[in-house]
Amino acid sequence: MEAEHPCPFSTLFIPLFLCLLLSFSLPVHSDDAAVMELLKQGIINSDSLGWSGPDPCTWKNVKCDRSKQVQVIQIKGMNLQGTLPKELRDLPALTQLEVQQNQFTGPFPSFAGHGSILIIIAHNNRFTSFPADFFTGMTTLQSLTIGDNPFSPWTIPESIVSATSLKTFSASSANLTGKIPEVFGTMVSLGELKLAMNKLEGELPQTFARSSIQTLWLNGQQGNNKLNGTIVVLADMASLTSVWLHGNQFTGPIPDFSMVKKLQDVSFRDNQLTGIVPASFVNLPNLRTVSLTNNLLQGPRPTFGVNVDLDMKPGSNRFCTENSGGTCDGRVNDLLSVVEAFGYPKTLAEDWRGNDPCNKWKGITCTGEVAIEYVDFQNMGLSGTISPKFSLFTSMLRLVLSDNNLTGTIPSELTKLPNLELLDVSNNNLHGKIPSFINVLVITNGNPDIGKESGEPSPPGSVDGSKVGKIVGAVVGSVGVLLLVVAVGFCLLRLKQKGSGKLRSPHTVVIHPRHSGDQDAVKITVAGGNVNCGANDAFSPRRNGPVPGDIHFVEAGSMVISIQVLKNVTNNFSGANILGWGGFGTVYKGELHDGTKIAVKRMESGAVGEKGQTEFMSEISVLTKVRHRHLVALLGYCLDGKERLLVYEYMPQGTLSKRLFNWREARLKPLEWTRRLTIALDVARGVEYLHGLAHQSFIHRDLKPSNILLGDDMRAKVSDFGLVRLAPEGNFSVETRLAGTFGYLAPEYAETGRVTTKVDVYSFGVILMELITGRKALDDSQPEECLHLVTWFRRMHLIKGTFQKAIDPTIELDEEAVASISTVAELAGHCTAREPYQRPDMSHIVNVLSSLVELWKPAEPDAEDMYGIDLDLPLPQALKKWQAFEGTSPFLPKGDSAQTSIPTRPSGFAKSLTSEDGR
């Protein structure tokens, strides 16, 4: 040993002897008999084993190989108590250890580095820990079954990867924690993995896709965090025959199983799986048991083969119908096809019950009970891409996908949506070129890569959509976007008129990402939360600041409504309550405790300009006085800081434009001619009244079907009058002050901004043409020469014999109708005369139309008496009562309709209050 000293035999021998002696008591090596003796001693009730004599090879349930080394120990189900010695790993020939179903306790011995062991079965005992180094160098082990032991918490060690022969790993109810290691995917032999009833968390490892696992049991994880994420990886596990995932928190859809042909037993119950159950699953040839109860599965209820033992409790998913073989409503199918691209989000699946998306489905707003008009998926934590299938929603006016994590591009299919007005995709991760939308407000700010990948510089001189966007961005400043739309459109119209023939769609406005701090100016989406009109002082007339010596002011004070009330009734300005985008702001539906509905217009901050509160209030006080049965009544307002809110009566049947142009999508009947005539007369009377007001002659400036609202009796009222007076003055001169919408603008107004009552007459003439033809003032779907209704209409009217072709084909034409229509056509022609002085007054129009209405409805009692709110109604008092009531409980829970202390409301107020919509 020590090289420096000579080494006599005796000095060599003694240490060698000692070494040999010592080796018997060291675990490094021992003779099998000694180890077996240790095993026997560790078992308290070893008598029952019948182990006697010195040679373990003669013991019951022990087998040795030819060289007398212990090979197999099988002592299962014998109620044995005690511990297993750590020296078991010193049985070099041991291939099989079966100690299951006993009451062994203490630590389970390590077999690290053992070179022979093939099978270890130790489940259903009371082992208290599992060794961390167990798998190290364990290259021979094929089967390990250790479930149902009260191990102290442990995680599957990464070293399991060295157990390259492992076919079965079964450790259910074994107090396993942590994640399922990715290394399972590299264990090519692994066929059975049972880790049920542990405390595992996290997602399925992606490496499962490369595994040859046949049996995968991960059900019933017990911790606070169960297994989660999607189960898409199963689609690639081609060997799978049995998969139990029940009792976890898996989300997302059941994947395509067409690669997983051998699947027999599937248990997915008690998770949060969403989406349509794929046919590739339902039609698997070898299915025996399927359990799907308590998930959020959507679409039609799947019909499995008769041989399948099925657990799928009725009502425990989100199937559109519980009828086997039943089909879903087309709208449901369409919606599911678009949310598929978002991975069927859980939040939507939870909320979307039944077969009618118009029945309060999250994010979906309908009109006419059937037509999906507004899809609002703002801030829903969505990922994935925007499906081109959104183009299926032909009735959709607004699509809001802002504040999510969407990737990919904006599909060009969306440009085909005929009625789309607004596409808001701000604050996502979209990239690529923005398709060319026509007549759509597209908001894309907050997408760092949007518009990139283009690289093609636009040829000098041409004005394309994106350039327009930049102009917009540059000009915007703090001015409201809606005004800008008008302003830019106006400039473009001018360009077009000067012969820049390239511009077919003058009012495409694209708002590009901006990096300055004035996001608010660009981002039109409603924020909802941060309104701070004082709730305390809102119930009384404001007495701060200079009080003008105008009696209107004091009266107007009683029309002030607190922001808290408006927040309560609009569900905190929720997107679902949006009725429309009217001139200058967003209109929300509100509902009072008694079910009375109101329309709340929240003005864009830029739209009302720099007008001070006092000035604003005096304007509003005038508007609140303008009352006529054919004008939508302004019921009150709220203002504070930059917030300005106007409260209107609600008109339940929505806009004339919907009835006239979108009736198919809304699944409504087309309007009969007599109705159209009555509506025209209603509008004419409302406008006549506006024009005739003493001192304060009002010119509407923006008459169009989307500003004409209908009540339940289909009588019409004009909305949004007078708002132009609130627009900013000064710097922006004509353009910003120009309201109006292309197609309805009188030529002199468009060219010079000169405004007389004849501007409204012109717009009214265009509306008459629309009523006759059922076509929009500007119809992009028409060939160039028919694009502009007025021009086309005049041409059709001039050429004898062609006019009948211009009449809306849905109108039933008899002799009387033809005569009536031709009179109105004549009138429409006069109204749209080139020179203002050639156009008639509204009073003349009212005369012509009322004579026609009388012709049609000679027997009807005076409709005027039957209709409308009571104009003598003491509205301010009514509002006061209402506010006083609201004021006593400003935080009344939503939907509390059980309130009994509702003050008696004036009947007219409640009866006719309602909707607004516009562009």
Ligand X SMILES: *[C@@H]1O[C@H](CO)[C@@H](O)[C@H](O)[C@H]1NC(C)=O
Point out the residues that are catalytic. Answer: 702
Largest CA distance in the chain: 142
* Least separation in angstroms between CB 340 and ligand X: 17
Rg (CA), the chain: 39
Residues forming beta bridges with residue 266, ordered by sequence position: 243, 290
Q: Dig out the tokens for 573 from the structure.
A: 């300005």
**Residue list 412-471, contact with ligand X (CB under 6 A):** 429
**Which whole-number Å values give the CA distances from 860 to 820, 854, 856, 857, in the listed order?**
18, 9, 9, 6
Q: How many residues bind ligand X (CB under 6 A)?
A: 13
Per-residue x/- marks for ligand X, 293-312, CB under 6 A? --------------------
Residue with smaller CB distance to ligand X, 63 or 179 = 179
Contact between 191 and 216 under an 8 Å Cβ cutoff? The reply is no
**Residue list 221-280, contact with ligand X (CB under 6 A):** 225, 228-229
Interface with ligand X (CB under 6 A), residue from 131, 178, 202, 528 = 202
* Least separation in angstroms between CB 171 and ligand X: 12
* Least separation in angstroms between CB 148 and ligand X: 9
Interface with ligand X (CB under 6 A), residue from 81, 212, 289, 383 = 383
**Residue list 614-633, contact with ligand X (CB under 6 A):** none
Residue with smaller CB distance to ligand X, 200 or 745 = 200
* Least separation in angstroms between CB 197 and ligand X: 8
- The burial class, CB within 10 Å (0-12 / 13-18 / 19+), for 473 is buried
Residue 443 CA to residue 480 CA, distance in Å, equals 14
* Least separation in angstroms between CB 383 and ligand X: 6
- Give the residue ranges of DSSP H helices in 417-480: 465-476
Residue with smaller CB distance to ligand X, 170 or 624 = 170
* Least separation in angstroms between CB 378 and ligand X: 15
Residue 42 CA to residue 295 CA, distance in Å, equals 49
Q: Which residues contact 695 (CB under 8 A, 6 or more apart)?
A: none
Asked if 407 is part of the footprint of ligand X (rule: CB under 6 A), the reply reads: yes
Rounded to 5 degrees, what angle do the CA atoms 300, 305, 306 make?
Answer: 120
Q: Which residues contact 539 (CB under 8 A, 6 or more apart)?
A: 560, 562, 883, 884, 887
Residue with smaller CB distance to ligand X, 202 or 541 = 202
User: Number of C-alpha atoms within 13 angstroms, CB side, residue 620?
Assistant: 30
Closest CA to 876 of 625, 533, 579: 625
Torsion of CA 832, 835, 841, 845, to 10 degrees: -20
Task: Tell me the residue ranges of DSSP E strands in 695-768.
Answer: 708-710, 716-718
911: left (phi over 0), alpha (psi -120 to 50) or beta: alpha
Residue 301 CA to residue 310 CA, distance in Å, equals 12
Residue with smaller CB distance to ligand X, 153 or 876 = 153
**Residue list 146-185, contact with ligand X (CB under 6 A):** 150, 152-153, 175
* Least separation in angstroms between CB 207 and ligand X: 18
Residue with smaller CB distance to ligand X, 227 or 538 = 227
Q: Dig out the tokens for 413 from the structure.
A: 């299919």
* Least separation in angstroms between CB 150 and ligand X: 3
Contact between 842 and 760 under an 8 Å Cβ cutoff? The reply is yes
Residue with smaller CB distance to ligand X, 172 or 912 = 172
Residue with smaller CB distance to ligand X, 227 or 690 = 227
Residue with smaller CB distance to ligand X, 408 or 876 = 408
* Least separation in angstroms between CB 229 and ligand X: 5
- The burial class, CB within 10 Å (0-12 / 13-18 / 19+), for 688 is buried
Residue 288 CA to residue 306 CA, distance in Å, equals 10
Footprint of ligand X (CB under 6 A): 150, 152-153, 175, 201-202, 225, 228-229, 383, 405, 407, 429
